[in-house]
Structure 1
Amino acid sequence: MDLLERETVLQDLTGHLQDAVSGPGRLALVRGEAGIGKTAVVNRLTQLAGPQIRVLVGACDPLATPRPLGPLVDLAPRLGQAVRTALTGALSGACRPDEVFDCLLADLSSYPSLLVVEDVHWADEATMDLLRYLARRLPSVPVLLVVTYRDDEIGRTHDVTALLGTLAGYPWVYRHDLAPLSRRAVARLAAGHVVDAEHLYQVSAGNPFIVTEILAAPGESVPATVREAVAGRLAGLSAAAREVVDVLSVLGRRASLPLLAGMLPSCEEALDEAVAGGIVRTDGQTAEFRHELTRLAVLESVPAACRLRVHRQALAALRSGPVAADDLTLLADHAEGAGDAAAVLEFAPAAAARAAALGAHREAAAQYARALRYADHLPAARQSSLLEGHSQACLLSGRLDEGVASRRHAVTLRRALGDRLREGENLRWLSWWLWPDGRAVEARRTGLDAVRVLEELGPSPELARAYLNLCQLACYGHEAVTVTDAYAAKAIALGERFGDAGVVVQARFHAAAARMLTEDSGWTDCEQAVTLAMARDLPEDAALMALNMCWFTALKRDTAGTTVAVNRAEAYCLDRDLLSYLLCTRAWGSWGLLARGLWTEAADAAQNVLSHPGSPPVVRALALTVLALVRARRGKGQVWPLLKRAANLVDSDCLLDTGLGWEARVEAAWLAGDHERVRTQAQHGLDALAGRTHPWLSGPLACWIRRAGGTPPQVPAAGPCALELAGDWAGAAAEWDRLGCPYQAALVRLSGDAPALHEALAAFEALGARPAVARTRAVMRARGVRPVRRGPRAATRANPYGLTLREMDVLKLLHEGLSDAEIAARLYITPKTAGHHVGAVLAKLGVHSRQDAARKLHHSER
């Protein structure tokens, strides 16, 4: 398994090793905080060392009385007799330590070696002297000396600090800092786990140890291993330093030093001790924990009375002067910790509103939820306002159930108050979010209720948005273009009257989208609307339209368009913390990968969506359908349970609205050889489409009826489906090829002549579509067409190592020194798939490291 985001340092270290064993020797300092992966890096380095290199590994231990020359004792069995004898003498007092040093240097001079000394922050004085001795003489021996230490545990007076000062002038000393993992790397580790990758990144700060421990214990707020590791560090602190750490844990991850000093006068020395212990760090203005999970582990052990006291002191101190906007979240935290309900209701809503304005929707949802815990005795109008804010923040941050529940409660309160305007607005919002919740029928009914309430009050901005909502639902439900246009016209008229640019641009977009999906026009208008919304900084409107372009291009099987749309929408939603839209975008991205024949990547992308706890029901249904189709096409089991789970998540209208759901059920039946079920399921889908116009939904279902030996009804059909239903299999196959859908093209060629059948068989074999291969061979036998045994593709045969074109792409990127994640981004595949390709390349080249593979490419190109 590759170490994430450690390729560069490993490449540097292997380069040092190659240079050192041929002389002169080198020293590499590998440093980073606890849990950052220093041991993992040096372990991988020892595995990459060639058989001609002697590997010597020793470590220092966190003992109250360190072992004299402990690392040398560890590696002595691999050294010569002279060194072992001198070491025994030195430990017994029979000879001086410098005699051991001389013997070791002579031993190292005789054989190329990799010498690793780990955790020198725990080293004894004799080991520090040994390192000084060796470092000065390294140019004369064929050795790479690797020294690891925790840079968060050495202060100004630590022995390691003194050692570093000695090494500063040596040009053969190299320093390598191990940085925390990026968001992308943490998300990759989180793939397959039901966890919010962004939250995981925030609490871990990218520390690999903390990340893996959280994933190993998903039900624990603080994993036991992390708790024990923190307790071990705290045990070494003085009582004063422990008090500082306890107070800081209550104050939050970051606290101002003046606030801390006000609560704990003369705490400077104790704070310095806590910093030296690696628990906290300071920049001279603030003190903060290195990781949020560390703070939580400390907080668990702070007595309740102490927490209450600190919260009250902090609240009083922060309220004593002007309240800065940046302090609103802290004030709300301390207000709740102090049990001051009035202060919570003063500061939490303000903190929520500020977070929402900054696009931090998860923070906004948390602050609104905090206020609602104390809102039972508030007037109904104020409760409603809090519920509305909470609902919106939840919906935008992927907490759909909570958001819908708050919006329903707000509707009830506004109705009881007789506030018809706010009742109608809340009904409109409820309708809008019921659709991704999988309740298309209720969404439309509630949307009509919203319009009815608001129309009674006359023209208003709220009515403009209500008309827009019905325009959107009509588009998504594939209703007649005239219906979408009618609602769009009403929305545009009111949007222009009240100056709501978002309403106008969205109404025009959805009217154009309805034409694009039914009449194959309107694409340019849709693109212009997205561009305009982004340019005018209408984030939610732009994000919605951008993800809809992913959906619509996927429905039209436009794989190139889907790729472009997904990349754009994903980047936009990530920048603005629009989680619900982001997850929907990624679900449609998995459909695009499926259509392109990249089934492993599609399954990985779908599984990542399913693993996120914030994925709405519609999104989960889409991802489950992708997984089901991948399994069905590969001839694996558990297909129908996945399709049933997808169908149970949403109502039948929503399953149909999103498209592809019914078609997936039909295809699964065909792959299983159940033609009767194919015809029945396809007809059920067409019956449900009655009264709607969507040729990209009805056309494929009619084609499946034809492929199963039935007589397809006359229905609207688009593109290659229309050609196939007209009997033009060659034209249909060519059109599928143009769209970038190799599997669909091969299916159509089953109706063709002998060359077409051979082409279909080759395509299915290349895709790993075992059931389709079997079906193709059966068709060939029935028609008397002899299958041709095909070997590797021509490009693969021509490659001296048997690499495919994709594997050659990967090898070239390895030569650039890219990580799996970087390769994945460059080739538009998942990191997991990139890892599979890297493994295949190494195996075919007969090498054991990425660096060796890159060198092999370099030599072959010379």
Structure 2
Amino acid sequence: MDLLEREAVLQALVGHLQATESGPGRLVLLRGEAGIGKTAVIRRLAQLADPHIRVLIGACDPLATPRPLGPLMDLAPRLGPTVRTSLAGALAGTCRTDEVFDCLLADLSTCPGLLVVEDVHWADEATLDLLRYLVRRLPSVPALVVVTYRDDEIGRTHHLTGLLGTLAGYPWVYRQDLAPLSRRAVARLAGGHAVDAERLYHLSAGNPFIVTEVLAAPTEPVPATVREAVAGRLAGLSAPARTVVDVLAVLGRQVSLQLLARILPTPEEPLDEAVACGIVCTDGQVTEFRHELTRLAVLDAVPVASRLRVHRQVLAVMRSAPIAANDLALLADHAEGAMDPTAVLEYAPAAAAHASSSGAYREAAAQYARALSYAGRLPPDESASLLEGHARACLLSGGLDEGIASGRTALRLRRALRDRLHEGDDLRWLSGWLWPAGRAAEARATGLEAVRALEALGPSRELARAYLNLCRLACYGHEGVEATAAYAGKAIALGERFGDAGVLVQARFHAAAARMLCEGEGWEECEHALAEAMAQDLPVDAGLLAVVTCWFTALQRDAVRTTAALSRAESYCLDRDLLSYLLCTRAWGSWGLLNRGLWVPAADAAQAVLSHPGSPPVARSVALTVLGLGQARQGKARVWPLLERAAGLVDPSCLLDTGLGREAGVEAAWLVGDHELVRAEAGRALATLREQGRDHPWLSGPLACWIRRAGGTPPPVPAAGPYALELAGDWAGAAALWDRLGCPYDAALARLSGDVPALHQALAAFEALGARSAVVRTRALMRTRGVRPVRRGPRAATRANPYGLTNRELDVLKLLGEGLSDAEIGARLYITPKTAGHHVGAVLTKLGVHTRHEAARRLLRSELR
């Protein structure tokens, strides 16, 4: 079949390939619906590549639970010995996955290359991690990486969606779409065939796969669906050839000829017939269907009894030979297809453990779930172990509810077995994840129960972790320095005794964090503990500490530290597939953007958290609160429903723990001028904190300030930094401190207590930020104080721009889109390079981005909307 209407795509790909030979690497996402011709384009690109360019092509398999690093296994024979050795070690569990990534990067750096990973919609988590790792480092290697996937199968809940969102921010990532063939192209392909070209176009909608299938079986009726087209192709095969095709369909996408020969006697001639018919193709080593849709259509037509027989044959053949770690997922898949519970229970847990060691937590959870469907055959203690593994994998991969459910079931089994040690440890795990589930009170009660159960058994590693859990909960619940330090001390003593490095770094971190929040000291110790966790390769511990750092810097309204902490945490959690931690990181990040007055980027970040089905309730609550508060500040409608939804996701105490929820409602009331509600709600929140012994300076301070701003007299409470200054009447000092922290909105609020110039300054700040509700409140305050004249709002063009850019800043943004330097922008706009630089800085700040490339991409996205 001719490769029609792909010239532009191929020209672009060849251009990217040539550019990478002498410049930084690039990544291209080649996407389109199933059957659109992605593989054909890749093959032609490989033919067009210069001979000195190394071409590496691997593909993901459509297994129910994909094998870790499947594409890399396909490429292994063409990679260097270092990569092959590290890959074998990773699959055997003797070395870390990131070592494989490092070796592959080094191998790609040796010469210009084309690396293709096909069908990443079937990718395992380790492969997605590999792509995340590579894309961030591509500028350092002379390679073009092309990734293909079916965009018609990628919904918002698909595991690939997160990776695609991550890639959106890289300027060296490009996208190529393959469109359906035109009517003219279909007619050209149909020339010489006894088919109606117009009807063929109508039935195929220009899909090259369907067109090819129809034209390959011209004597069959014109199919209405792909299934009918495949059935027509199969009708011409001999019985032995049909048997080979059926067996290949059951075996999977790629099948070695050696394995096929062990399943079927003398398959050579029937296979040749199937190849000649165009159903499958072979390179002499492996056989595969030309398209997965063909295989699925064939598979659906294979009788259930035949499928069962083939699965059992494959299982027997694979079990008769030495089993490699990378075969475990395939064995588990065939074991389930063979309806062999014993084999499922043998291979699925092992495949799950292997996936976990590779950092593929979602695959681990799926394999545990597969094993659990047969857990009724196991003794209770083995069932409990499977449930515990499933719970941990789910909790780390975004399946919070599912993980908690498995954890509760495991706990019931351990209690029935009177296994007190595992019961206490399960209680501790459950407690630790109830907090992000929004159940703070239950988390604390469960954590205390875990400690009581484990203390009765004497010192243990499990007891150390249980003390650590209470230390964390005390810190998160703002119970004070003494309570947090007491639990930290117990955890450290046992952590040192049993050599648990994770306990030590976490306990030291949280003890320091409590001091940092209450006393303003301890930041350096927190940073040291986090760096130590990362250096010791404690991914789960380090990931948690990185997330908590984002939360606490956002709570302290420290824009600089929040931005740095967010970048570090997101990178770390992405590289290690810590999805639950990543989503919490992004929620705190949206709050950080809100603190900086970046309403639109904050809303975008919050929506991204809410759109992900794996977001924990606490993260969703924060994101909803950010959306509601951002809309309230901009004078938009539907504020209270958002805040009410946020409150309904978590315990009332969690709203105070995060330092955002209850305060947001109080501010929203102030923005609409309901001072009585402000005083009442803030007073109730302060009373709750006092009753619970959590008079925390970063929680009590803002509530007391809102009472003062609403004309009330706040009770004496501990207040942090700028809040303390404002409550003491030093509005200028408070505003200056807010300015240093990078919080222009809060600085303007503090200036509302000041003199006439301060009021004018506050009004100008609110107008520049697009904080329309605050503008209205400020003008009313100025009228009450007899301050005249009241400034008019920003120009209409600035108000209409969603990012609050002025016309001059819009001009600068457009020139950034052309890749111009400050000097070139200055020459274009007849301003000095220094002035141009100031405008560039303002644009980056308002857009909430860090680089000129990110600003240019934001401009491109807005133009395409």
Task: Provide closer, same or farther for how the CA distance between residues 465 and 31 of structure 1 changes in structure 2, counting only shifts above 3 A.
Answer: closer
Instruction: Name the residue aligned to 1:521.
Output: 521
Per-residue deviation, residues 40-61 of structure 1 (Å, max 9, x unmatched): xxxxxxxxxxxxxxxxxxxxxx
Instruction: Name the residue aligned to 1:557.
Output: 557
Task: Provide closer, same or farther for how the CA distance between residues 740 and 460 of structure 1 changes in structure 2, counting only shifts above 3 A.
Answer: same
What amino acid is the match of 1:563? Answer: T
State how far apart, in whole Å, the 2-side matches of 1:680 and 1:547 are.
Answer: 33
Is 1:664 aligned with 2:660? no
State how far apart, in whole Å, the 1-side matches of 2:36 and 2:710 are.
Answer: 56
Task: Provide closer, same or farther for how the CA distance between residues 307 and 515 of structure 1 changes in structure 2, counting only shifts above 3 A.
Answer: same
Per-residue deviation, residues 805-861 of structure 1 (Å, max 9, x unmatched): 4762563244279xxxxx999934999996663477x7xxxxxx99xxxxxxxxxxx
Larger Rg: 1
State how far apart, in whole Å, the 1-side matches of 2:797 and 2:145 are.
Answer: 43
Cα contact 1:509–1:545 (8 A) shared by 2: yes
Cα contact 2:735–2:747 (8 A) shared by 1: yes
| Displacement of 1:469 | 0.5
| Displacement of 1:561 | 0.9
1:693-842 aligned within 5 A: 693-782=695-784, 783-789=786-792, 803-805=807-809, 808-809=812-813, 811-815=815-819, 827-828=849-850, 837-838=859-860
Instruction: Name the residue aligned to 1:403.
Output: 403
Task: Provide closer, same or farther for how the CA distance between residues 34 and 683 of structure 1 changes in structure 2, counting only shifts above 3 A.
Answer: closer
Instruction: Name the residue aligned to 1:104.
Output: none
Unaligned runs of 5+ residues in structure 2 are 1-7, 17-28, 39-117, 120-143, 166-174, 181-206, 211-223, 800-804, 822-843
State how far apart, in whole Å, the 2-side matches of 1:234 and 1:200 are.
Answer: 33
State how far apart, in whole Å, the 1-side matches of 2:792 and 2:687 are.
Answer: 43
State how far apart, in whole Å, the 1-side matches of 2:852 and 2:452 are.
Answer: 47
Instruction: Name the residue aligned to 2:530.
Output: 530
What amino acid is the match of 1:686? Answer: L
Per-residue deviation, residues 421-468 of structure 1 (Å, max 9, x unmatched): 111111111111111111111111111111101111111101100000
Identity among equivalent positions (%) equals 64
What amino acid is the match of 1:408? Answer: R
SS at 2:376 equivalent: coil
State how far apart, in whole Å, the 1-side matches of 2:434 and 2:161 are.
Answer: 25
Cα contact 2:461–2:498 (8 A) shared by 1: yes
Task: Provide closer, same or farther for how the CA distance between residues 650 and 826 of structure 1 changes in structure 2, counting only shifts above 3 A.
Answer: closer
Task: Provide closer, same or farther for how the CA distance between residues 699 and 334 of structure 1 changes in structure 2, counting only shifts above 3 A.
Answer: same
Cα contact 2:425–2:450 (8 A) shared by 1: yes
What amino acid is the match of 2:746? Answer: Q
Instruction: Name the residue aligned to 1:263.
Output: 263
What amino acid is the match of 1:569? Answer: A
| Displacement of 1:751 | 2.0
Task: Provide closer, same or farther for how the CA distance between residues 346 and 754 of structure 1 changes in structure 2, counting only shifts above 3 A.
Answer: same
Task: Provide closer, same or farther for how the CA distance between residues 413 and 802 of structure 1 changes in structure 2, counting only shifts above 3 A.
Answer: closer
Cα contact 2:606–2:626 (8 A) shared by 1: yes
What amino acid is the match of 1:788? Answer: R
- TM-score normalised per structure 2: 0.69
| Displacement of 1:401 | 1.0
What amino acid is the match of 2:849? Answer: L
SS at 1:815 equivalent: coil
Cα contact 2:813–2:856 (8 A) shared by 1: no
State how far apart, in whole Å, the 2-side matches of 1:407 and 1:483 are.
Answer: 27
| Displacement of 1:208 | 5.9
| Displacement of 1:408 | 1.0
Task: Provide closer, same or farther for how the CA distance between residues 259 and 839 of structure 1 changes in structure 2, counting only shifts above 3 A.
Answer: closer
Instruction: Name the residue aligned to 1:174.
Output: none
Cα contact 2:813–2:855 (8 A) shared by 1: no
SS at 2:311 equivalent: helix
Unaligned runs of 5+ residues in structure 1 are 1-5, 15-29, 40-150, 153-176, 212-224, 818-822, 843-848, 851-862
Task: Provide closer, same or farther for how the CA distance between residues 277 and 795 of structure 1 changes in structure 2, counting only shifts above 3 A.
Answer: farther
| Displacement of 1:750 | 1.9
State how far apart, in whole Å, the 2-side matches of 1:508 and 1:638 are.
Answer: 43
Task: Choose 442-451 or 649-658, whichever is displaced more.
Answer: 649-658
Instruction: Name the residue aligned to 1:617.
Output: 617
Per-residue deviation, residues 395-430 of structure 1 (Å, max 9, x unmatched): 111111111111111111111111111111111111
Per-residue deviation, residues 674-701 of structure 1 (Å, max 9, x unmatched): 1111111111221221111421111111
Cα contact 2:32–2:152 (8 A) shared by 1: no
State how far apart, in whole Å, the 2-side matches of 1:356 and 1:787 are.
Answer: 62
| Displacement of 1:256 | 3.3
State how far apart, in whole Å, the 1-side matches of 2:774 and 2:537 are.
Answer: 48
| Displacement of 1:633 | 1.4
SS at 2:377 equivalent: coil
Instruction: Name the residue aligned to 1:679.
Output: 679
Instruction: Name the residue aligned to 1:63.
Output: none
Task: Provide closer, same or farther for how the CA distance between residues 379 and 676 of structure 1 changes in structure 2, counting only shifts above 3 A.
Answer: same
What amino acid is the match of 1:474? Answer: A
Task: Provide closer, same or farther for how the CA distance between residues 525 and 313 of structure 1 changes in structure 2, counting only shifts above 3 A.
Answer: same
How many positions carry a matched residue from both structures? 662
Cα contact 1:502–1:533 (8 A) shared by 2: yes
Cα contact 1:36–1:208 (8 A) shared by 2: no
| Displacement of 1:182 | 8.6
Cα contact 1:186–1:201 (8 A) shared by 2: no
State how far apart, in whole Å, the 2-side matches of 1:665 and 1:465 are.
Answer: 36
State how far apart, in whole Å, the 1-side matches of 2:392 and 2:292 are.
Answer: 27
| Displacement of 1:316 | 1.4
State how far apart, in whole Å, the 1-side matches of 2:394 and 2:624 are.
Answer: 24
Per-residue deviation, residues 472-499 of structure 1 (Å, max 9, x unmatched): 0000000021111011011001000000
Per-residue deviation, residues 372-400 of structure 1 (Å, max 9, x unmatched): 11011311111111111111111111111
Instruction: Name the residue aligned to 1:453.
Output: 453
- TM-score normalised per structure 1: 0.69
State how far apart, in whole Å, the 2-side matches of 1:324 and 1:614 are.
Answer: 32
Per-residue deviation, residues 634-693 of structure 1 (Å, max 9, x unmatched): 222211111111111111122221221111111111112211111111112212211114
| Displacement of 1:347 | 0.8
State how far apart, in whole Å, the 2-side matches of 1:729 and 1:553 are.
Answer: 23
Task: Choose 329-338 or 225-234, whichever is displaced more.
Answer: 225-234
| Displacement of 1:260 | 3.2
Task: Provide closer, same or farther for how the CA distance between residues 341 and 602 of structure 1 changes in structure 2, counting only shifts above 3 A.
Answer: same
What amino acid is the match of 2:619? Answer: V
SS at 1:827 equivalent: coil
Task: Provide closer, same or farther for how the CA distance between residues 680 and 809 of structure 1 changes in structure 2, counting only shifts above 3 A.
Answer: same
Instruction: Name the residue aligned to 1:128.
Output: none
Instruction: Name the residue aligned to 2:646.
Output: 646
Task: Choose 539-548 or 239-248, whichever is displaced more.
Answer: 239-248
Cα contact 1:195–1:611 (8 A) shared by 2: no
Task: Provide closer, same or farther for how the CA distance between residues 647 and 255 of structure 1 changes in structure 2, counting only shifts above 3 A.
Answer: farther
Instruction: Name the residue aligned to 2:54.
Output: none
Cα contact 1:37–1:178 (8 A) shared by 2: no
What amino acid is the match of 2:816? Answer: K
SS at 1:484 equivalent: helix
1:232-271 aligned within 5 A: 234=230, 237-239=233-235, 240=237, 246-263=246-263
Task: Provide closer, same or farther for how the CA distance between residues 232 and 670 of structure 1 changes in structure 2, counting only shifts above 3 A.
Answer: farther
SS at 2:614 equivalent: coil
Cα contact 2:30–2:176 (8 A) shared by 1: no
Per-residue deviation, residues 545-568 of structure 1 (Å, max 9, x unmatched): 011100010000111111111111
State how far apart, in whole Å, the 1-side matches of 2:160 and 2:795 are.
Answer: 40
Instruction: Name the residue aligned to 1:76.
Output: none
Cα contact 2:550–2:585 (8 A) shared by 1: yes
What amino acid is the match of 1:470? Answer: L
What amino acid is the match of 1:770? Answer: R
